[in-house]
Amino acid sequence: MLVDLDPQGNASTGLGIKRAGIRKSTYDVIFDDASVAETVQPTKVPGLFVLPSSIHLSGAEIELVGIENREYRLQKALRVPLPYDYVIIDCPPSLSLLTLNALVASDAVVVPLQCEFFALEGLSHLAKTIERVNKSFNPRLEIHGIALTMFDRRNNLSDQVADDVRNYFGDKVYKTIIPRNVRLSEAPSYGLPAIVYDMKCPGAKAYISLASEILKREKRILNAQTTAQTTEAAQVA
Ligand SMILES: Nc1ncnc2c1ncn2[C@@H]1O[C@H](COP(=O)(O)OP(=O)(O)OP(=O)(O)O)[C@@H](O)[C@H]1O
Ligand SMILES: [Mg+2]
């Protein structure tokens, strides 16, 4: 399930959800105790569901300030048995109370990073923020991966940014790099995910490879956690 927490709602419209067809949204889940079950919508992709965003979310910042447990609203809504393997939250592009809600509700952060000049600066700032959220609100939270995107082979800067990020963040950076690809930018206007719009374009192929890399890493991390817990339990016994 994809949770669209960005007031711009591009994740929802990009998956073919029409604004007019949204009765309840993440806004209602956060503010009005609407359940995930009554808000979630199916998409054209089997097995992919979306909790749609709405324009009401743009006022959420101000509304959240005065509310009780304002950092934990989304966590509370998602802490129920859900029939999904993974819940992915698409965040607004800045650190806001909405983003903080996402960080508090999550186990892991995956950062898409454009290969551009200010990328590294933004990333180290984000890493510090995540560390702080980890200490104050959510001890499970950590960066599981950084995905390099908008990579332009003809541009030396892209290479340089990719190298810098790898030097700094090492294995956290996924091997797959998403190239700059026009087909990827066309897909949302058809309300389709890029891999459905054009499965064979270089961008879609890269995303398929990234998805399998993410899955492998998540499974390895989960296994390591389970082993650690079992060992701990055995020691206690
Ligand atoms: N690899 C790519 N190649 C070409 N265009 C891309 C690529 N990735 C994204 N785009 C285009 O860039 C725009 C923004 O993409 P996207 O919504 O993924 O970015 P974002 O960082 O989440 O934006 P925002 O910060 O506004 O939420 C879209 O029009 C998308 O089609
Ligand atoms: Mg976005």
User: With a 6 A CB cut-off, is 230 part of the ligand 1 pocket?
Assistant: no
CA gap 105, 138 in Å, rounded: 8
- Residue 19's pLDDT is what? 87
Q: What is the DSSP string of 176-200?
A: EEEEP-HHHHHGGGGT--HHHH-TT
- Residue 236's pLDDT is what? 86
Q: What are the average pLDDT values for consecutive 10-residue runs of the chain, which has 237 residues? A: 96 93 94 95 95 94 92 96 97 93 97 91 92 97 97 93 94 98 96 95 98 97 91 87
Q: Where are the alpha helices (DSSP H) in 54-201?
A: 60-65, 73-78, 97-105, 119-136, 156-169, 182-186, 194-197
User: With a 6 A CB cut-off, is 184 part of the ligand 1 pocket?
Assistant: yes
- Residue 201's pLDDT is what? 98
- Residue 43's pLDDT is what? 94
Nearest-atom index, ligand 1, CA of 90: 22
- How many structural domains compose the chain? 1
Residues 6+ apart with CB under 8 A from 126: 95, 111
Please tell me the distance between residue 217's alpha carbon and the centre of ligand 2 in angstroms. Answer: 23
The residue whose C-alpha atom lies closest to atom 12 belonging to ligand 1 is: 185
Nearest-atom index, ligand 1, CA of 179: 1
The domain spanning residue 90 has which CATH number?
3.40.50.300
User: With a 6 A CB cut-off, is 4 part of the ligand 1 pocket?
Assistant: no
Nearest-atom index, ligand 1, CA of 14: 17
- Residue 217's pLDDT is what? 97
- Token pair, residue 89, equals 């939250």
Q: Give residue 231's domain range.
A: 2-236
List C-alpha distances in Å: 80 to 5, 36, 97, 141, 208.
18, 9, 22, 19, 29
